[in-house]
């Protein structure tokens, strides 16, 4: 038997199987449904991040407001 020919044929078949795997993987990653779900997930994460930043800014603004009110409160001294 010619083992070099068999090994060459096995190499060609393995290469073709690898190419098919890459093509199937690429198609599954860029099909319309997966792109929509990825965009949806990204949009949800952006929304959650915006809400947390907004909450943080609100709490800091309330803290500054309370601090400012305490500083502006007149001090009354009775003698």
pLDDT tens per residue across span 28-59:
888 888 888 889 999 999 999 999 999 999 99
pLDDT range class, residue 60, cuts 50, 70, 90:
very high
**pTM for the full predicted model:** 0.51
Handedness of CA 14, 20, 21, 26 (dihedral sign): positive
Which residues lie below 8 Å from residue 34, measured CB to CB, with a gap of 6+? 28
The answer to whether residues 28 and 34 touch, using CB atoms and an 8 Å cutoff, is: yes
What's the Cα-to-Cα distance from 4 to each of 7, 8, 12, 15, rounded to whole Å? Answer: 5, 6, 12, 16
């Amino acid at each position: 038997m010619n083992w070099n020919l068999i090994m060459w044929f096995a190499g060609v078949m393995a290469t073709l199987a690898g190419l098919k795997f890459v093509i199937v993987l690429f198609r599954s990653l860029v099909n319309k449904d997966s792109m929509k779900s990825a965009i949806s997930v990204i949009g949800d994460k952006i929304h959650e991040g915006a809400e947390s930043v907004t909450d943080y800014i609100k709490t800091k603004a309330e803290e500054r407001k309370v601090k400012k009110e305490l500083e502006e409160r007149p001090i009354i001294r009775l003698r």
